[in-house]
């Protein structure tokens, strides 16, 4: 018995260094894999890396894509949601507004790599966009100070900025967005700020496959309107950079509408003569309505006292001028 015990101890002792080396090798592999994922987060989805605009992304997301929400950190301990995702002031509010005070700590929601840090005087103010290995990009807006730089790797819970009231903001708060390939998804489907927890381990996008790139363009107003009506659904992305869409002149929009209306002059004149009010249906846009009735977006906006990027609601009545 003594000899067997001694033999067993000698065997364990001889294997110990080997086991230690295996553990070290395994740890190195795990570390390298993690580092690679964070250097090129969600590279199976995104085909580019740009530091200029929030929606400047290209790639492809398959249908029924599963987003891993484990390993999260709530970006703020605040439990007060002051504004929800959806239509607001005739446009899409693409995130949640969380009550914070100027100087409050804001943290990264997941491990990831900072894609964008920027200031917009009339938009997000000082804001940060982080891309994560789970496919999401999170946006933190209206900050008073940014504490990270583009291309910097961060871990969940790292301090990335301070709460503020910059940009288009009417009181100190954190504007928090969750996006997948540039497409805004209601953060409330994933983050429960009141309970300071995620809603589940995974969030599954159960809609059509989504592709975004230069050849996949659609009306940005239409996309935003449909997102507001179908919160959290995944639609085909716009492919139009924010600035390009926002800077499109009214003259260009009117020129397009005029050209289209002249092409179908007879039917447009008939429509205008027989209808003074249009009831908004699914799929309607201002440009489409203008084309149908032989008018322009500018005239419609003036007659209805709305902006050219207004989000139309189902059943809304639009005066034709």
Cβ–Cβ under 8 Å, residues 43 and 142: no
Cβ–Cβ under 8 Å, residues 141 and 163: no
Q: Which two tokens stand for residue 224?
A: 């935003």
Taken as a whole, the chain contains a residue count of 321
Question: With 0-12 CB in 10 A as exposed, 13-18 as middle and 19+ as buried, what is 7?
Answer: exposed
60, 55, 154: which is closest to 111 by C-alpha?
Answer: 154
Cβ–Cβ under 8 Å, residues 169 and 162: no
* pLDDT, one tens digit for every residue, the chain (321 residues): 445 555 555 555 555 554 444 444 444 444 444 455 899 999 999 999 999 999 889 998 887 889 999 999 999 999 999 999 988 777 889 999 999 999 999 999 999 999 999 999 989 999 999 999 999 999 999 999 999 999 999 999 999 999 999 999 989 999 999 999 998 999 999 999 999 999 999 998 876 677 887 444 333 334 444 443 333 333 333 222 333 333 333 334 444 444 444 444 444 444 444 458 888 776 677 777 887 888 888 888 888 888 776 777 767 888 887
Cβ neighbours of 290 (radius 10 Å): 28
Q: Which run of H or of E encompasses 46?
A: none
Q: Go through the domains of the chain in sequence order and give each one's CATH number.
A: 59-215 (2.70.70.10), 250-319 (3.10.350.10)
Can you give the pTM of this predicted structure? 0.60
């Amino acid at each position: 018995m003594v000899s067997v015990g001694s033999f067993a101890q000698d065997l364990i002792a001889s294997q110990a260094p080997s086991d230690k080396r295996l553990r070290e090798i395994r740890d190195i592999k795990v570390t390298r894999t993690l580092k690679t994922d964070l250097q090129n987060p969600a590279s199976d989805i995104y085909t580019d890396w740009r530091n200029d605009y929030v929606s400047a992304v290209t790639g492809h997301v398959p249908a029924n894509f599963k987003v891993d929400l484990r390993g999260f950190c709530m970006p703020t301990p605040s439990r007060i949601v002051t504004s929800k995702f959806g239509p607001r002031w005739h446009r899409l509010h693409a995130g949640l507004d969380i009550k914070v005070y100027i100087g409050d700590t804001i943290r990264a929601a997941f491990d990831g790599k900072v894609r964008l840090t920027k200031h917009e005087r009339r938009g997000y103010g000082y804001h940060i966009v982080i891309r994560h290995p789970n496919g999401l990009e999170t946006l933190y807006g209206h900050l008073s100070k940014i504490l990270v730089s583009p291309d910097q790797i961060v871990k969940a819970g790292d301090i990335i900025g301070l709460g503020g009231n910059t940009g288009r903001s009417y009181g100190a708060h954190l504007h928090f967005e969750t996006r997948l390939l540039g497409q805004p998804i209601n953060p409330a489907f994933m983050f429960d700020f009141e309970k300071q927890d995620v809603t589940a381990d995974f969030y599954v996008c159960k809609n059509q496959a989504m592709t975004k790139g230069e050849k996949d363009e659609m009306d940005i107003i239409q996309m935003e309107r449909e997102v507001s009506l179908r919160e959290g659904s995944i639609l085909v992305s716009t492919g139009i950079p924010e600035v390009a869409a926002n800077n499109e002149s009214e003259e260009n929009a009117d020129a397009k509408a005029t050209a289209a209306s002249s092409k179908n002059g007879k039917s447009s004149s008939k429509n205008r003569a027989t209808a003074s009010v249009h009831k908004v249906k699914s799929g309607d846009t201002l440009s489409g309505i203008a084309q149908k009735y032989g008018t322009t977006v500018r005239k419609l906006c003036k007659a209805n006292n709305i902006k050219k990027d207004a989000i139309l609601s189902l059943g809304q009545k639009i005066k034709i001028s």
